[in-house]
Amino acid sequence: MTNRPLDRLDKRLLAQLQVDARLSFAELGRRVGLSTPATAERIRKLEEHGVLRGYRAELDSHSIGYPVTAFIRLYVPAESYPRVLAVIEGMPEIREAHHVTGEASFVLKAVAPSLIALETLISSFDSFGKTETSIVLSTRLAARGLPINP
Amino acid sequence: MTNRPLDRLDKRLLAQLQVDARLSFAELGRRVGLSTPATAERIRKLEEHGVLRGYRAELDSHSIGYPVTAFIRLYVPAESYPRVLAVIEGMPEIREAHHVTGEASFVLKAVAPSLIALETLISSFDSFGKTETSIVLSTRLAARGLPINP
DNA sequence: CTTGAAAATGTACGTCG
DNA sequence: CGACGTACATTTTCAAG
């Protein structure tokens, strides 16, 4: 993973792909002033170097049966981390898990089909320590791409 | 935004696109047993109905100059919400903002090029109320797609 | 990085169940 | 109406310069 510096063209390509990951190489090339093969090759290298980690369709969680989203803070002793992480790994409704500074050990982002299901999900961690949950009432800002300096 | 029920084929298409949003219609069709035009038409409708909200490239934030990620909880009185949201809107380093239940009013997810920059970002909210920040030490799970029941 | 040709894919339309 | 097959435009890929 050599940390190649990104030039202006790379940054413009990345900025475009953050907005629409399905843009064709031809269209991307047109927008930045590059031929199709040159564009494809740059993107291949950005993937190879780990700058481009993947392309994800963004779904409406409500439409797929998950109207509830919540952030859960876990307070657990360090010796429980491996078991906690194993539990998290096996729960597909947990979409993110971060080890963080401060009192809490982990911050989780989870979805659930109902509040009862969320309650069940949270109780999976009862044996490890305390939890604190913030249920999302409304999302005011989401899926904003990373700012890219030109 | 009529709430069409998703059939098995829709779900399989969505599941594939969550893993790789750049899959061709031809390839998607092959995987679920549909012709290319039929696949394209289904996906067009899923977009139209708001089930498919977009296609995003996932970038490595560290590679683009943002080694720091943090969750910030904001404690502000309801009358400050409009001004707080306006501030958030104008800060590209804030990637998510959710209005939540519990003591905190908002949960933010932000990136920063340094801890000093994060400190500056957080201080933008000092005049509105209290903040609590959890800096991400390591991400154990990220970009996991929503579970889709067949 | 560009050009140019061959293969694959995307899209529009006619047709069938 | 939804899915298919054909026909044609666009895109992808690969070679060579």
pLDDT in tens, A48-71: 999 999 999 999 999 999 999 999
Question: B80, B128 in Cβ contact below 8 A?
Answer: yes
d(CA B114, nearest CA chain A) in Å: 14
Test B137 with A101 for CB contact under 8 angstroms: yes
DSSP A143: S
d(CA B135, nearest CA chain A) in Å: 5
Q: Which one, of B102, B6, B131, B86, lies nearest residue A133 by Cα?
A: B102
Please state, in angstroms and as integers, the Cα–Cα distance from residue A79 to each residue in A83, A86, A94, A119, A121, following that order: 9, 13, 21, 25, 21
Whether residue A4 has pLDDT greater than 80: no
pTM (whole model) above 0.75: yes
Q: C1' nearest to CA of B28: which nucleotide? A: C9
Token digits of residue B119: 């400190």
pLDDT at residue B2, rounded to an integer: 58
pLDDT at residue A1, rounded to an integer: 53
* A16 sits within 7 Å of strand D by its CB: no
Q: Which one, of A112, A110, A116, lies nearest residue A94 by Cα?
A: A110
Which residues share a beta bridge with A110? A70, A94
- Determine the average pLDDT of the residues in B36-53: 97
Within 8 A of B143 by CB-CB distance, chain A residues are 53-54, 56, 96
Query: What CA dihedral angle connects A60, A66, A68 and A73, to 10 degrees?
Result: -100
Whether residue B39 has pLDDT greater than 90: yes
The position carrying tokens 């429980």 is A80
Test B88 with A141 for CB contact under 8 angstroms: yes
Q: C1' nearest to CA of A35: which nucleotide? A: C2
In this structure, the protein residues whose CB atom falls closer than 7 angstroms to any atom of nucleic acid strand C are: A 9, 29, 33-38, 41-42; B 24-27, 36-37, 40
As a whole number of angstroms, the distance between CA A95 and CA A70 comes to: 10
Which residues share a beta bridge with B72? B108, B133
Please state, in angstroms and as integers, the Cα–Cα distance from residue A93 to each residue in A71, A134, B26, B102, B147, following that order: 12, 16, 30, 21, 7
Test B139 with A95 for CB contact under 8 angstroms: no
For B65-123, the pLDDT digits (tens) are 999 999 999 999 999 999 999 999 999 999 999 999 999 999 999 999 999 999 999 99
Q: Which residue of A has its CA nearest to B5?
A: A63
Whether residue B12 has pLDDT greater than 70: yes
Q: How many CB atoms lie within 10 A of CB A82?
A: 9
Please state, in angstroms and as integers, the Cα–Cα distance from residue B15 to each residue in A61, A134, B34, B146, B148, following that order: 13, 27, 15, 8, 7
Q: Gap from A33 CA to D10 C1', in Å?
A: 18
Whether residue A2 has pLDDT greater than 70: no
Question: B10, B35 in Cβ contact below 8 A?
Answer: no
Token digits of residue B128: 């509105």
Q: How many CB atoms lie within 10 A of CB A111?
A: 23
Q: Which residue of B has its CA nearest to A7?
A: B64
pLDDT at residue B5, rounded to an integer: 85
pLDDT at residue A97, rounded to an integer: 98
Sort A40 into a burial class: Cβ within 10 Å, 0-12 / 13-18 / 19+.
middle
> Could you tell me the sign of the dihedral formed by the alpha carbons of B84, B86, B91, B95, in that order?
positive
- In this predicted structure, which of A146-150, B81-85, B127-131 has the lowest mean pLDDT? A146-150
Token digits of residue A72: 């859960």
| D3: residue with closest CA to C1' | B38
As a whole number of angstroms, the distance between CA A75 and CA A1 comes to: 34
d(CA B127, nearest CA chain A) in Å: 20
Within 8 A of B146 by CB-CB distance, chain A residues are 59, 61, 64, 66, 95, 111
**Residue B3: pLDDT band by 50, 70, 90 thresholds?**
low
Nearest to A60 among B51, B85, B96 (CB): B51
* B28 sits within 7 Å of strand D by its CB: no
- Determine the average pLDDT of the residues in A37-51: 97
For chain B, how many residues are written? 150
* A43 sits within 7 Å of strand D by its CB: no
**Residue A150: pLDDT band by 50, 70, 90 thresholds?**
confident
